[in-house]
Amino acid sequence: MKQFIKVWQLPILFSFILLFFINISLYGQETAKDLFNRGYRYLTVDKQKAISLLTQSIDLDPNLTDAYYHRGIAYFKLDNFDKALNDFNKAQSLNPELSILWMYKGFAFRNKGNLNDALDSFSNYISLNPTDTSAYSYILRGKMKYELGDFDGSIKDYDMAIKLKPFEEKYNYYRFISFYEAKQYKAALKAVTDLIKVNNDFYGYYFYKGNVFHDMGYYDSAVHMYNVAVIKNYQNADSYFYRAQSYEQLEKYEKALEDYNTAIVMNDNDGSYYSKRGNCKHLMGNKEGACEDWNQAGNLGYYEDFEKVKRVCE
């Protein structure tokens, strides 16, 4: 039997049809701001969808700064740094006072390997926000200077970061590393001693302090620090390896050899371990054992002492 719409049902049907077309009309007339808001909500869950919606918002309003800014962030998180930089530059041209863009540009340049451009970007941010209490901008610029070999410059930035955040452990650590790489050993020694005061449970700071003492020629003090590092963490092969080198400088070859052996048991894929043990064996008069170790170091791709194979072993 055929079913027909009854007359009394027609107004209801027309109402549904009208609402349907109204909804279509409203959706088709989304504003640039509407599309931006939808794109913004997708940033953390679907970056491609976010880019699509933000692009639509830009098509409707080419001067919508936030759309370029956040689309740039989406591109950045997808490792498309060139497109990210294009969007950050466009947002910056629309709103030069949006200083956070310098930070994002710095990140993008750094990930592209353009360290000088990254350094300039972080510097521009700092010039606009010299007392940013996060101090992170100084750390970022300090890292760029460090990677570019400007250790003194990196120290100055780390000093500023520490003035703003005196109890931030990692900031003090970066500062110590810069002192150490600049061979400013007295300053490095003080910096690492301060780190131990901040965190006296971390074996690494005693290990680093041992390295400083070793490089200063204070081998007994170095051994003492390595001893503490081993007590704090007996599973770190480098502590034994570096303690062995200090023992070697003190001409305590048996103890050095014992530590080299321990380091190799813990990590038998490091060619430098075999090479240094070979040197120790050679000093002890064990030519055959030294040659075996130097050859093994070469097999593992470590050739610093490999000329001794021809000069001593052949």
83 inside domain: yes
| Judgement on whether residues 252 and 290 belong to the same structural domain of the protein | no
Of 96, 124, 152, at which residue does a domain stop? 124
157 inside domain: yes
CATH code at 100? 1.25.40.10
Over residues 197-226, the pLDDT tens digits come to 989 999 999 999 999 999 999 999 999 999
9 inside domain: no
| Judgement on whether residues 258 and 240 belong to the same structural domain of the protein | yes
158 inside domain: yes
Picking from 45, 41, 51, 49, the residue whose alpha carbon sits closest to that of residue 76 is: 51
| Judgement on whether residues 259 and 280 belong to the same structural domain of the protein | no
User: Exposed/middle/buried for 219, CB within 10 Å: 0-12, 13-18, 19+?
Assistant: buried
Q: How many domains does the chain fold into?
A: 4
Query: Residue 29: what pLDDT?
Result: 73
| Judgement on whether residues 63 and 113 belong to the same structural domain of the protein | yes
pTM: 0.68
169 inside domain: yes
Query: Residue 15: what pLDDT?
Result: 52
Over residues 68-101, the pLDDT tens digits come to 999 999 999 999 999 999 999 999 999 999 999 9
What string of DSSP letters covers 92-151? HHH-TT-THHHHHHHHHHHHHT-HHHHHHHHHHHHHH-TT-TT-HHHHHHHHHHHHTT-H
For the ranges 6-20, 253-267, 271-285, the lowest mean pLDDT is seen at: 6-20
CA neighbours closer than 13 Å in the CB half-sphere of residue 225: 25
| Judgement on whether residues 274 and 261 belong to the same structural domain of the protein | no
275 inside domain: yes
**Mean pLDDT, all residues of the chain:** 89
Over residues 96-147, the pLDDT tens digits come to 999 999 999 999 999 999 999 999 999 999 999 877 777 888 989 999 999 9
- In this prediction, residue 26 has a pLDDT band, given cuts at 50, 70 and 90, of very low
Query: Residue 134: what pLDDT?
Result: 75
Query: Residue 28: what pLDDT?
Result: 52
Asked whether residue 13 carries a pLDDT value surpassing 60, the answer given is: no
User: Exposed/middle/buried for 239, CB within 10 Å: 0-12, 13-18, 19+?
Assistant: buried
Asked whether residue 291 carries a pLDDT value surpassing 50, the answer given is: yes
Find the domain containing 150 and state its range. 131-187
For residues 161-187, average pLDDT: 90
| Judgement on whether residues 116 and 64 belong to the same structural domain of the protein | yes
20 inside domain: no
15 inside domain: no
- 132 or 194: which leads in pLDDT: 194
Query: Residue 37: what pLDDT?
Result: 93
